Amino acid sequence: MTRYDERLDAARYYISVLNLPAAREILLDYLNDFPANPQAWYLLGQAADDDEAAIEALERALQLDPDYEDASILLAGIKRDAEMITYPTPPEDDDPNREE
């Protein structure tokens, strides 16, 4: 196994035990050496500490590999969840209990 495989495996492990800071550190180091690896960007999206960072990493993964299904699914879920939080549904106009 090469050093590069070991770093990605280590990042996967840290993600699985929810040690996201350790995973991010490994992945950022790895991406300095291999910036065109969509799998590393996908993992960075999983390890991101906020939605904006996750979206940026996942979009980069998809730029490198437009057919990366896991990245596409995760990105769609994050965007959907962020939209639900950021843009709540307005109240219905026909609420009978609403005072005018």
Q: Domain with 33 in it: what CATH number?
A: 1.25.40.10
Q: How many domains does the chain have?
A: 1
Q: Is 35 inside any structural domain?
A: yes
96 in any annotated domain: no
Give the pLDDT mean for 13-34.
Answer: 97
pLDDT at 83 (0 to 100): 72
Q: Is the pLDDT of residue 100 over 60?
A: no
Q: Could you tell me which residue, 91 or 49, shows the higher pLDDT?
A: 49
Using CB atoms within 10 A of its CB, is residue 35 exposed (0-12), middle (13-18) or buried (19+)?
A: exposed
DSSP annotation of 78 reads H
The answer to whether position 98 is within a domain reads no
Is position 94 within any domain?
A: no
Assigned domain for 46 exists: yes
Range of the domain at 68: 3-86
Q: Is residue 64 part of a domain?
A: yes
Q: Cα–Cα distance between 13 and 8 in angstroms, integer?
A: 9
Let me know if residue 23 belongs to a domain: yes
- Give helix then strand counts, H and E, for the chain: 5, 0
- What is this structure's pTM? 0.78
Is residue 93 one of the residues assigned to a domain? Answer: no
Q: Is 34 or 88 the better-scoring residue by pLDDT?
A: 34
